[in-house]
Amino acid sequence: MTPRTPHDATRVALDELIALSALAHGASLARQRRAVALRSGTSSSRWRGRGVDFRESRIYQPGDEIRHMDWRVTARSGKPHTKLFEEEREQALLLALDLNPSMHFGTRARFKNVQAARAAALLAWMASAAGDRVGALGFGGGVDGEVKPAGGRRGVLRTLRAMRDWDHASDLARSEPLSRALTRMRRLLRPGMRVVLFTDGFSADAEAVLPLPQLAARHEIAVVLLRDALELAAPPPGRYAVHLGDARRIVDFGDARVRNAWTERFAASRARLLGECRKLGIRVVELDTDADLRRALAPLLARTRPSMVVA
């Protein structure tokens, strides 16, 4: 069960993240294949590069290395092909957390930044139980943090502490575009790593569509899209005081034009990221601030694909 100890709904609490290990019991982020591999911390993953067993060739994709071209198939078909190999590799999960100012908002149960950290912690505990290493990347709000993936409970705790520290250090006056975070992510990732990005989509800039396809071609990526009820529907008609830092503003939701513009603006902010994810086949899970974590993250927990293609 979710811990009943009261916590600040606006800031990440380390004890709550640790307590989520109990919620992870009985769930599985693991590959539902090869129990021996799960117990030993290794699993079979398909990746492009040196390996012990050639699996297949496929059409060349931007970003593939020339040294792994399959010249015979290329010559025969007239189209460039890349070789894929299989090797026993330890899996790793990278949790990328958006800490931009827009994440520090919520009207139901907790802020989006807190719910994102809770969801990341739950996935971290599940991945660790499956024998995977866990690491994290924090961006936005002046945060530029990285935790290299490590195994065991110690690796999870190091990740959770970093998430707590990043959240408490974030500056609500500073923003970072998603494109810059994705560029940093490319330097941190290694073959076999999976990525789960936690964001509300508002940091997705036009330049983010450039590195995202390359990452999706090489790694299994999922996006957990945080949202709040007030972003999906305007409040009842009336005049409301809105605070942003030291600024205070009155918004008149009695005006139909204001109400329509309110929801359209939030929808438009997510549209770019959602569209690109659909195009690339990246799984997106929408997570409300008051949602039950196990139920909302179910699509990420039922991983049935026998292997992961990394090109």
Alpha-carbon gap, residue 57 to 139, rounded angstroms: 36
Residues 97 and 72 in one domain: no
Total count of residues recorded for the chain:
311
Residues 107 and 195 in one domain: yes
- Looking at the domain assignment, is residue 304 inside a domain? no
pLDDT at position 54: 65
Alpha-carbon gap, residue 124 to 224, rounded angstroms: 14
pLDDT at position 170: 94
* Mean pLDDT, range 61-67, rounded to an integer: 74
Output the average pLDDT for the chain.
Answer: 83
95: Cβ contacts below 8 Å, ≥ 6 apart: 120, 123, 124, 134, 135, 136, 137, 159, 163, 196, 198
Residues 131 and 184 in one domain: yes
Residues 108 and 61 in one domain: no
Please tell me the least confidently modeled range out of 39-48, 107-116, 163-172, 258-267.
Answer: 39-48
What are the structure tokens assigned to 209, written together? 């569509």
More confident: 45 or 227: 227
CA dihedral of residues 97, 102, 104, 108 (deg, nearest 10): -110
Residues 245 and 99 in one domain: yes
Alpha-carbon gap, residue 108 to 232, rounded angstroms: 12
Alpha-carbon gap, residue 91 to 102, rounded angstroms: 32
Residues 22 and 66 in one domain: no
pLDDT at position 148: 94
The β-bridge relationship of strands 42-47 and 81-90 is antiparallel
pLDDT at position 36: 31
How far, in whole angstroms, is CA 284 from its chain's centroid?
A: 9
Residues 111 and 193 in one domain: yes
Please tell me the least confidently modeled range out of 66-80, 138-152, 176-190.
Answer: 66-80
Residue ranges with strand state E in the chain? 42-47, 53-59, 81-90, 92-98, 133-140, 143-150, 193-199, 220-227, 239-244, 247-252, 283-288, 309-310
Instruction: Quick: pLDDT tens for 12-43.
Output: 999 999 999 998 876 655 443 333 333 333 44
pTM, full prediction: 0.77
Residues 186 and 255 in one domain: yes
Candidates 305, 294, 275; CA nearest to 126 is 294
- Looking at the domain assignment, is residue 198 inside a domain? yes
What phi, psi does 174 have (nearest 5°)? -125, 140
Candidates 12, 10, 31, 65; CA nearest to 305 is 31
CATH number at residue 219: 3.40.50.410
- Looking at the domain assignment, is residue 302 inside a domain? no
* Mean pLDDT, range 157-183, rounded to an integer: 96
Residues 82 and 101 in one domain: no
Of 88, 121, 153, which one is at a domain's C-terminal end?
Answer: 88
- Looking at the domain assignment, is residue 307 inside a domain? no
pLDDT at position 243: 72
DSSP letters, 136-156, are: EEEEETTEEEEEEEE-HHHHH
The β-bridge relationship of strands 42-47 and 309-310 is parallel
User: 239 lies in which domain range?
Assistant: 14-34+91-296
Domain count of the fold of the chain: 2
Residues 78 and 100 in one domain: no
